[in-house]
Structure 1
């Protein structure tokens, strides 16, 4: 039995299973390569511990903030695809009018797009440039805690037009199963329609994600669908 620096006085147990070292502390265990797992729904303290041990970004600096561009621009620029990144994109009409846009913007700031029973972000996390946050996802038996950092927050509202947009991007940190970036946005277009959009690029960053990458891609698409439904459900509830 030994204690790991930076953790509480609870004992840490280490064992080897198929060349992967597993370290457990209470309900948390970590696979070699900085992947954070928990047998139960992660508490705020456990999320903070994950973020505190996550380190820096795990993808190249030249790609940070790239999701601020449109999907077509990213596809035309071969830099991402040549470096092994794949895209995931979803765009859904969620309503119309300035009021719906403002409510959609507030929903993103409150992390309502992660209001799922199998995925969540602490809703108290501020959406501000440089803030680190933890995405918690339920996968089979354990929960996976994946650290990210907000790399930009952009809001655009021309004074003489009805169009407006609010968007922010999160970049993956050391300890995330993937390397890449994901953008969430709400937009009021020239036709007064409000759109919710998810755009990401990613590639495996851990042996587990290399092995199961087709499954990971399916889960990304499933999340985009579920997240869109969560936003629409939230906005519809505000109308009643």
Structure 2
């Protein structure tokens, strides 16, 4: 089962995709692994089971205002507001929410169903050596039946104790359909390209915000 559209998917098409998708299409024992620091043993376990690991961590700037703007970007799906991919920006980031990532690949659009499996919204009480408090906002989404891949992805924004703001993407995935088996080398390159494009979209959102006075 693959969800395709020859034109940009409408809200009705996305709703139908979500309705027809079932539960997670990967082993429950791996759920949440993308949000945890991957030790050597965990990396080995995932790779032995056929998963490809992808990770990027990019400095966005510094200060609470940058963190707030970046968090807002994530909450409104600006990190997926691309020419070739999008998510309905009204989608709520809550545990259990199902949604579609709509991706333009060659001729048709592909609708990829996922579900938010965990959310982190933490303001730390610890203070770093420069007197700054840390904070983190992020969420994990897992692939559902009907997705071309099996696995999950974690997006997060962190204000560290040195007052620096980071955007982090962690994922593990493997093919879940013969189309993705055939084109998986391309898929892996596309994931790297997405990390760059997603970061640029968030930075564009941050720089467009008015400076607090």
Q: TM-score range by the shorter chain?
A: over 0.9
Q: Is the 8 A contact 2:69 2:205 kept in 1?
A: no
SS of the residue corresponding to residue 204 of structure 2 reads helix
- For 1:52-91, list aligned pairs within 5 A: 52-70=19-37, 72-73=38-39, 75-77=40-42, 78-91=44-57
| 1:101 lines up with 2:67 in the alignment | yes
Matched, 1:183 2:150: no
Residue-by-residue CA offset, 1:121-178 (whole Å, 9 max, x unaligned): 0000000001001000000110000000001001221234311111100000000000
CA contact (8 A) 2:125 2:134 kept: no
Q: With CA pairs under 8 Å and 6+ residues apart, which has the higher RCO, 1 or 2?
A: 2
Task: State yes or no: 1:165 paired with 2:136.
Answer: yes
| Residue from 191, 195, 199 that aligns with 1:228 | 199
CA distance in 2, matches of 1:64, 1:156: 20
Equivalent residue number for residue 13 of structure 1: none
Aligned residue in 2 for 1:7: none
C-alpha deviation, 1:104, in angstroms: 1.0
Q: 1:79, CA displacement in angstroms?
A: 2.2
Of structures 1 and 2, the larger Rg is shown by 1
**Runs of at least 5 residues in structure 2 that lack an aligned partner in the other structure:** 128-132
> C-alpha deviations, 1:80-123, integer Å up to 9, x for none?
11211011111111111011111111111100101111100000
Q: Write out per-residue CA displacement over residues 57-82 of structure 1, whole angstroms, 9 at most, x where no aligned residue.
A: 10000011111102x43x43132112
Q: Any unmatched runs of 5+ in structure 1? A: 1-33
From 209, 215, 219, the counterpart of 2:180: 209
Aligned to 1:42: 9
Runs of 4+ in 1 over 3 A off after TM superposition: none
What is the CA deviation profile of residues 21-52 of structure 1, one whole-angstrom value per residue up to 9, with x for unaligned ones?
Answer: xxxxxxxxxxxxx1111000000110000010
Range with greater deviation from structure 2 (127-136 or 90-99): 90-99
Q: In 2, distance between residues paired with 1:160 and 1:207?
A: 48
The normalised TM-score by structure 2 is 0.93
CA distance in 2, matches of 1:172, 1:201: 11
